[in-house]
Amino acid sequence: MSRQNLVLLNALGLVGISGVLLLAFVDQLLFQELPCPLCLLQRAAFVLAGFGLAMNLRFGPSTRHYALVLVAALMGMVVAGRQVLLHVTPGSGSFGAPFLGLHLYTWAFVLFGVTILGIALLLFLHRACDERCAETVDDLSDLDHRVVWLALGAFWVFAALALLNGVSTLLECALGLCADNPVAYQLLP
Amino acid sequence: MMALPFFTLFAGLVAAWFGHPRWALGLWAGSLLWVFVLFLAHATDRLSLQF
């Protein structure tokens, strides 16, 4: 697969992760569902995973950067899996409203799995690029300008979402620990 | 405490943008470690994070 297509797939992957973070914000702001501590850790895992894709966009596709995504997605699966298990027994309740029949932490578990499969596919396709693309790493000037703009846009939208999550978490939890079942922002009147 | 990984990751992205991959990787690794510590704290209920 050409380097341009690999960059395009990485950019689309980053757009997908940004979409997940954006949906979480919509749920938080429009439906007033403040994220629980485990929910915040899952968001952090999504940002950790997207970081690897962002590195691919900035420095060129590399197996090292895919490794970052895999580790982060595994971490996210463990956190989301724990939350699923906390609520799987009858009478243990749930957190938040379901979306399309599944709770957000269950969706997160599924999406981290999809991320791992997606990275496996990208690694499979990456091999063909290793030798031909080695000399062009860290230079996007040889790519179609639409792909470059998509990559740059995805990079900075993702970075903005990471920052907004930090601000939102700070407002919700202040400098201490988050409430077990948050109902209000600690730093807002 | 829980906002720290997000700010660190944002700093890592800015470092990457300005061409410092080692700083970016270091900040990523620090964030991962902190998320892991928070998760362990939750799993073992050491910091009363149990929701």
What would the pLDDT profile of A132-144 be if each residue is shown by its tens digit? 554 444 566 677 8
The token duo for B9 is: 């990751």
Query: Chain B partners of A59 at a C-beta cutoff of 8 Å?
Result: 16, 21
Residue with tokens 């590399």: A62
Please report the pLDDT score of residue B50 as a whole number. Answer: 47
Check whether A22 has a pLDDT greater than 80.
yes
CA dist A82 and A87 (Å) reads 9
Task: Provide CB contacts within 8 A for A17, sequence distance 6+.
Answer: A46, A47, A49, A50, A53, A115, A158
How far off is chain B from A54, nearest CA to CA, in Å? 8
Q: Note the pLDDT tens digit of each residue in B10-34.
A: 999 999 999 999 999 999 999 999 9
How far off is chain B from A161, nearest CA to CA, in Å? 9
Model ipTM?
0.90
Check whether A79 has a pLDDT greater than 50.
yes
Give me the mean pLDDT over the A50-59 stretch: 94
| Radius of gyration from C-alpha coordinates of chain A | 18
